Chains A and B, each alone.
Chain A
């Protein structure tokens, strides 16, 4: 009697019944941790290099001072490039993010299976594969040759690069919002547009924000299109619409190329600044999306 009672439970204690599974488990765990380590090494190395080299040149005056006219000179700062990066990226974001989100809303909530939506989706995919230098060339040919170099020309190129990322990531997030939520809203007498604004977008907010921030981070680091659309300046230019401007990425490129120690230091400082800006943007995005998005607790 007791034997038959104990038997079904006792099986659970015999952990040696499947040594094969145990082995596979160990192997998979080791492999996983190994892969994680391998992925972390380059990341850690880059950050270590940038911080250790960049921090030496980095201080408040580095952020505000003008770039020395001659690369031979030491000291100076990256003020114009910091300003340029911020206003060019901001202008691009202002153009691309709302457009991209509205476009994605059309694609997923309205166009869905229509021809126009399919074509737009395809174009967005193609556009996200276009190399940034090609985008820069395009803006150069259509805008810069007519209106001249400006921060805005660079912003146009960056916006064109961001747009497909924003569209596709937003659409993906809208797709994740369960249809039941839309139905619940309609059943309460809410209209389609208000359902999107009051239910769908808040539910997708976290994902949409990180997608948009990813696009911004990518744009902030772009170099190629800025080289020919924005030009170069060594003085701060707050006007994004006229006059040559500059950006951190372009300055890294220009300064790192020179054989002069001062310029190379500035390049490292600029690289550190750029990473810091992108890092801050990411943290900010996290904060915003956790603040305003889905309540799960």
Chain B
């Protein structure tokens, strides 16, 4: 087991990382050959129906394989029937009307839903063939590899520098020079460096909403995760910053895998390789709304020739 050992070994990690920052779990050395293909590839049929002419899916290219995923908050079923395969070095976009469970599904991918009291995840979430919800999996290890940018900017009430250096410090990087370099690189990538380079010691809270969100993006990529989950990262950004973030995603895609939730369909069409369309269905019995995955396919197909009428209505703006 190389980088896929997600089981608890907190103590080992601490000492390792202190000695050798290069071995920090924040920088997994992805080696697809070491990845065991999952014994069961449950979402293969759906995935095969998706990419179609791209040929069968190479198992080592699958980062996440979701099968019949459903999430309940207490009794309430927020989203169900999610089957999809998220591929390495691709940008996967989640689109759909508000409340259809995009955030909920995204949060399943790095076990953030563990923190919500009453949340229950059923079905399968495989990460490189490892069941993320296996009892032996340590969620802390999961989150070191799978970073997340939240829908609402949530910088720490610490200095800008400390916000970005936070993740690397958690991963055991202590040397000031290393941290300085990481902070500058992350802030530059997040299109924030020029605006804040003279006030790195000032609080992250004092930034504007859009700047805060870019700070959060910088904070996430500073840990160099394998996967970056982004929940509407550009909803508070102006077009210039949005373009910078989209450029960043295109650049990050070569090293990382990205999943992005967006309400901006042009953005999904511009940046993503694959798009998942979710919608919400009203349940007859109790009048609650449950989200479900309608269609998952190559982005140009979703936006040009979707197979489902609901997808077509949504992407053409005739959603009612």
Contact = CB atoms under 8 A, between A and B. Distances in A.
Interface residues of A, number: 24
Given A184-B156, A199-B156, A295-B203, A189 B144 contact: yes
B202 interface: yes
B61 interface: no
Contact of A188 (B152, B157, B170): B170
A4 interface: no
Give the dominant DSSP class at A's interface.
Answer: helix
A296 B206 contact: yes
A113 B117 CA distance: 10
B112 interface: yes
B219 A188 contact: yes
Contacts of B204: 295
Interface in A44-92: none
Contacts of A187: 110, 112, 143, 147-148, 150, 220
Interface in A156-206: 178, 180-191, 194, 198-199, 202-203
A297 interface: yes
B25 interface: yes
Interface string B192-219: 0000000000111110000000001001
B150 A184 contact: yes
A294 interface: yes
B214 to A, nearest CB: 14
Nearest to A193: B10
Contact of B140 (A184, A191, A296, A297): A191
B150 A188 contact: no
Interface string B149-175: 010101111110000001100110000
Contact of B170 (A194, A296, A297): A194
Contacts of A178: 154
Residue among A112, A184, A188, A202 with max Cβ neighbours from chain B (10 Å): A188
Residue among B115, B202, B216 with max Cβ neighbours from chain A (10 Å): B115
B101 interface: no
A189 B25 CA distance: 9
Contact of A297 (B112, B117, B171, B202): B202
Nearest to A179: B115
Contacts of B139: 186
B3 to A, nearest CB: 14
B26 interface: yes
B297 interface: no
Given A295-B203, A296-B206, A186 B158 contact: no
Contacts of B246: none
Interface of B: 10, 25-26, 110, 112, 115, 117, 139-141, 143-145, 147-148, 150, 152, 154-159, 166-167, 170-171, 202-206, 216, 219-220, 223
Given A184-B219, A190-B166, A294-B203, 10 more contacts: A180-B150, A180-B152, A187-B147, A188-B143, A189-B143, A191-B10, A194-B170, A202-B158, A294-B157, A297-B203
Interface of A: 112-113, 178, 180-191, 194, 198-199, 202-203, 294-297
25 contacts: A180-B150, A181-B156, A183-B115, A183-B150, A183-B154, A184-B156, A184-B216, A186-B139, A186-B143, A187-B110, A187-B220, A188-B147, A188-B166, A188-B219, A189-B25, A189-B141, A189-B144, A189-B167, A189-B171, A191-B140, A199-B156, A203-B157, A295-B202, A296-B203, A297-B203
